[in-house]
Amino acid sequence: MTASRPAVVALTALAPVSWGTTYAVTTEFLPADRPLFTALVRALPAGLLLLALARVLPRGAWWGKAAALGALNIGAFFPLLFLSAYRLPGGLAAVVGSAGPLFVAGLSALLLGQRPSRRTLLTGAVAAFGVSLVVLRAAGALDVIGLLAALASTLSMSAGVVLTQRWGRPAGVGPLALTAWQLTAGGLLIAPLAFLVEGAPPALDGRAVGGYLYLALANTAVAYWLWFRGIGRLTATQVTFLGPLSPLTAAVVGWAALGQALTPLQLAGMALALGATVAGQFVTWGPRRAAAAPGAGAGSGARGPAVAADPALRP
C-alpha cells in the first residue's frame, strides 16, 4: 500500500463505526416503531444539506445513475435494514449484513470482471462467522419476511458499492456532490412510503430531536461522504470488508454505554472479525476478464477501481 492508503482506509472505516451507534441511538432516543420516518429523517435533510454545500446537480445520464445509486444505497437499503432489525431475532440481521463482502465479490465478478481469489472468499466467510459469534443471541422463531429483508438490504448496498465503482463520478464532481445526490434521491424515494405506511410524523421531545440531528449529520451526512469518498479511492472488496465494523461497534457501545456484558466467546468473535477486516485490506483479485470495463464511464474524471494485480485495499 502507498503511504496515503492507510489514511484513506482509516477515514472510510469511520463510516461503519458511526453506523454501529445507530441501534443504541434509535432505542434510547427515538420514538418506537417508526422505521420509515427514521430512515426519511436520516436521508433527506442530510442530502439537502450536502446538496446546498456542493451546489452541483447531475447532468445528462447522471440523473438516472444518481437515482439508481440513491435507490440502492439509501432508498431501498434504509427501509429494508430497519424492517429486518424489527422482525429478526437477536443479531441475525447483522450476521446477514456481514455477508456483504461475499455479495460484493460475486457482483464484482459479474459487473466489473474482477474474479475474487480464494483468500477473498475465505476472509469474507471468517468475518461473517466472527460477527455471528458477537451478535447472535438465543432467539425465537425465524421470521421469513425479516430474513428476506436482511438479504435484500445487504444485496442492495453491495450492488450500490459495485455500481458506484463501475460508474465513478462525472468529470469535475467530487464525492460531496455524489453523496448529496444519492441521499436526496433516496430520501425522496422513502418520503411517500413513510407517510403512506406510518402516517403523520410523531411528536418529538428534546431527546428525539437530538437523536435525529445526530443521525442526520454525523451518522449520515458525514459518514456517507466518507463512505463514498472511500469507494472512489479503494476497491469494492476493501470497502465492503470494513462493513463488519458496524455490528462490532454496536456490541462495544452496548457494553460500554448500555451495560450489556460481553462473553469470552463474543470477544473471540470480535478478534476474528477484526482480523478478517484487516486482512480484507490486503486480499487480491484474480485476473479480470478481457471484456470487462470496470472503470468510470467515458469522460469521468474520477478514479476507477484498482486493476486486478493491485492489492485489494471496501458498505
Give percent of the chain with pLDDT exceeding 90.
Answer: 35
How far is the first Cα of the chain from the last one, in angstroms, to the nearest whole number? 21
**Span 23-33, average pLDDT:** 83
User: Which of residues 308 and 136 earns the better pLDDT score?
Assistant: 136
The C-alpha atoms of residue 261 and residue 93 are separated, in whole angstroms, by 20
69-73, 154-158, 241-245, 288-292: segment of lowest average pLDDT = 288-292
Quick check: 211 pLDDT over 80?
Answer: yes
Does the predicted TM-score (pTM) go above 0.85?
Answer: no
CB atoms within 10 A of CB 140: 7
Q: In angstroms, how far is CA 82 from the centroid of its own chain?
A: 13
Quote the pLDDT of residue 89: 54
Higher pLDDT, 215 or 20: 215
Which positions ≥6 away from 8 have C-beta within 8 Å? 230, 233, 234, 313
